[in-house]
Structure 1
Amino acid sequence: MPDREDKLVGEFPFVPKQERAQQKRNALIESGYALFNSKGYELTTAKEIAAHAGVATGTFYRYFSDKRQLLMSLLEDKLEKFLPPEPSWISRDPEAVLAVLLEAHYERLNEVGLKRVLPELLSKDPELAEVLGAARKKLHARIHFGLKQASENGLTWSDLDLDTVSWAVMVLVENGQELESQCGKRVDYQEMAKVICRMVFPPEAIEDLQNREID
């Protein structure tokens, strides 16, 4: 997604080359990251970011057009990390494989942070929504293709609509962390993987996978 991301970020007012100026710009980025995570996007102002970084508000606008541009510079190489993982359906133990993928996915989300900011921004930023929407469609197509392969191997429920199941898998994974915020309960990766796999595979298919040799 590099071309679209460049458009999202836009052209910076000034890109520093000297070390001292680079340090100021980096301090602003770090301050924006901290404040966006703690306060959200709407409640964070450019003035607060500058104060948090220990510089004047005018210095903020020397490096960034607005707070959106600063946020996009934080997100530009991280957007794909917000997307769910692509499951591996044809393996000896798809449930265990998916549980590992889910755990790695949520760990990446925690490392990136900004989980609070992205949903808040998507409803008000059509360009960002378009980029993430296109990425989700591509991921959906890959998940659907994997399910189709599993179906052609006689592994899925015969009456499944694979398109619907593909979207259901994505929605379930994307909203998994809501369980933590709503219920105060940590995501159980094994349990989530079990739910997804039971939605896709009849019990005899799992047994068949465990007994066949997978390339």
Structure 2
Amino acid sequence: MQRSRSRVENQIRAILDAAHRLVEAKGDAFTTQELAKEAGVALQTFYRYFASKDELLLAVISDGLSDACRQMTVAADGLTDPLQRLRFYITASLGGRSRDPERYTLAQFIVATHWRLHRVFPKELAEADRPLVELIHTEIRAAADAGLVTSTDTEQDAWFIVELTRSVYHHYAYAAGTVAEVQEQLWHFCLRALGGTVR
């Protein structure tokens, strides 16, 4: 039983890793046949775990966001002030954008695919977003407990901040300029909205 479970997990991981590589190279313009070949699995194996390509793309977004949250948590480990961590999480959420063409492809994939999947899998996509909302929520609550902000609904405020950050990210996936130009403005806006003081 353990060996069977491990085999399933390995196959799913291989499919997700292959999908991540294809997305970085060409967005969502790949076929399930290309995906199966890249993952080194049979096409029927792919359909054993994912009913459609859209289900796979939903899993790719969820997997990527969970991984990004883990990386941000590790990177913020040395920050002791909740406002420092909150600032880092908000600005780092935009920091994946660079002038690397593959990163632009990834950003545009996230934007186009996120909104399309939102119409099909709204509940599942909200669940995929939960790790980032929870990350932001934890720090808003800690800052409120420390008297650094005056948020009275920390969970709702976390959701609004994630949605605002996503909108900025989406804008710069196609617009001229870079998110570096607005990272500090975004942070100051969020901090003021939470009732904090810009230092």
Larger radius of gyration: 1
Matched, 1:145 2:145: no
Q: Percent identity?
A: 14
Distance in 1, matches of 2:179 and 2:94, equals 9
- Distance in 1, Cα, partners of 2:39 & 2:190: 48
Tell me the alpha carbon deviations over residues 10-55 of structure 1, each in whole angstroms, 9 at most, x when there is no partner. Answer: x99x7599xxxx8xx95x6555334445242xx643234346x498
Which residue number in structure 1 is paired with residue 93 of structure 2?
A: 105
Q: CA deviation at 1:180?
A: 1.0
Q: Secondary structure at the match of 1:185?
A: coil
1:111-165 deviation per Cα after TM superposition (whole angstroms, max 9, x unaligned) = xx46244443343235633532654664464245234314xx3x446xx654454
Match in the other structure for 1:131: 127
Compared CA separation, residues 91 and 79, structure 1 to 2 (3 A): closer
Structure 1 contact 46–60 (Cα < 8 Å) conserved: yes
Matched with 1:33 is: 20
Distance change (3 Å), C-alpha of 1:64 and 1:72: farther
Change (3 A) 1:141 1:98: closer
> How far is the alpha carbon of 1:107 from its aligned partner?
4.2
Aligned to 2:159: 167
CA RMSD, 1 decimal: 4.8
- 1:121 aligned partner: 117
Read off the aligned partner of 2:161 and give its amino acid letter: V
Q: Are the equivalent residues in 2 in contact too, given 1:15–1:63 (CA < 8 A)?
A: no
**Runs of at least 5 residues in structure 1 that lack an aligned partner in the other structure:** 1-10, 208-215
Mapped pair 1:60 → 2:43:
yes
Is this contact kept in 2: 1:156–1:200, CA < 8 A? Answer: yes
User: For residue 120 of structure 1, what is the amino acid of its counterpart?
Assistant: R
> Normalized against structure 1, the TM-score is what?
0.51
* Secondary structure of 1:61 counterpart: helix
Distance 1:50 1:171, change over 3 A: closer
- Matched length: 172
**1:70-85 map, 5 Å:** 71=57, 74=60, 77-81=63-67
Report if the CA contact (8 A) 1:144-1:166 is conserved: yes
SS in structure 2 opposite 1:106? coil
| TM-score normalised by structure 2 residue count | 0.54
1:71 Cα deviation (Å)? 4.7
Instruction: Letter of the 1:47 partner, please give it.
Output: Q
Residues in 1 aligned to 2:126 and 2:192: alpha-carbon distance in whole angstroms: 32
